[in-house]
Amino acid sequence: MTNYPELFVLRHGQTEWNKIGKFQGVMNSDLTKKGREQARAQGRILKGLAIDMANTNCFASPLGRTRETAALALGDMDQSLWFDDRLKEINFGRWEGLTQTEMALGWPGAGIGGVGHDWHFKSPGGERFADMAARVQSFLDELNGPAIIVTHGITSLLLRGLWRGLSRDSMLAQSRDQGCVYHLSKGQEHCVWES
């Protein structure tokens, strides 16, 4: 069991690039209509969880897709939102803006699309697992109370995995759904969907 505070983790809503299978990394793509609805649904889920907002901080990655998701999910909660670079998505280096097929053709030995997400950390000029884990760990270590966090797919895996004390393989095998809220409390995680 961890000693971290309670977390509510949201992955940004579907983007135009998610829809066509392009990897964004630190590049940006706008939310789709579905992505905007997913963000609104996350807001409704948060309201249904009866969170003590007076004692809960809200953080988000500064990238456009997370800013838009946070605005839609948290918009009418009248809550301050802090942007933190440590919550950005993995930097995919030369793979940013490419599809899995384009990546696999250009780097056939990288294991792209294989089991787990370990291959995500092998891009030329991109971020490695240890570096990304260190920045996410730094963020977690500074939390001093419950938090709502709006972030990205791979970042969410590391954030939630470190919080739960998972091994690297278990961490990377977690789900990273859009449109739900991952609630982490008392050493456990529950994925909450709108009913």
Q: Which residues carry out catalysis?
A: 12, 89
Angle at 128 between CA 127 and CA 133, to 5 degrees: 100
- Give the gyration radius of the chain's Cα atoms: 16
Map residue 27 onto helix, strand or coil: coil
> And the tokens for 181?
């809220």
Q: Is 77 exposed, middle or buried (0-12, 13-18, 19+ CB in 10 A)?
A: middle
Report how far residue 111's alpha carbon sits from residue 117's, in angstroms, rounded to the nearest whole number: 10
Instruction: Enumerate residues 6+ apart whose C-beta is below 8 A from 175.
Output: 191
Sign of the C-alpha dihedral computed for residues 137, 166, 160 and 46 taken in this order: negative
